Amino acid sequence: MAAPLKRVLLRMDGEDILEFVKSPAFEPEMLSLYSELELPDGSLKDYIIKAFEKLTVDQGMPPASDSWVMSNAVEPVVESCIGATNEQSVTQETFLAEFKKVAENAAQRLKEQPVIVAHSENTFDGSGIKRLLSNKFELDKTLDSALKTIPRDRHGKMSKEYLRVALDVLAPSAGLPPIGAVDQMDKVIQEASVRC
Q: Where are the domains of the chain?
A: 5-120, 125-195
Q: How far apart are CA 137 and CA 82, in angstroms?
A: 63
Tell how far CA 94 is from the center of its chain. Answer: 25
Whether the per-residue pLDDT at 100 is higher than 90: the answer is yes
Encode burial over 87-111: b for 16+ CB neighbours within 10 A, e otherwise: eeebeeeebeebbebbbbbbbebbe
Say what angle helices 136-148 and 127-134 make with each other, to 10 degrees.
Answer: 100
- Give the confidence band of 1 by pLDDT, cuts at 50, 70, 90: very low
Q: Specify the pLDDT at position 187.
A: 77
pTM, full prediction: 0.59
Residue 174 in contact with residue 135, Cβ under 8 Å? Answer: no
Quick: pLDDT tens for 16-53: 989 999 998 889 889 888 888 888 888 888 899 999 88
Residue 3, classed as helix, strand or coil, is coil
Residue type, 191: E
Whether the per-residue pLDDT at 60 is higher than 50: the answer is yes
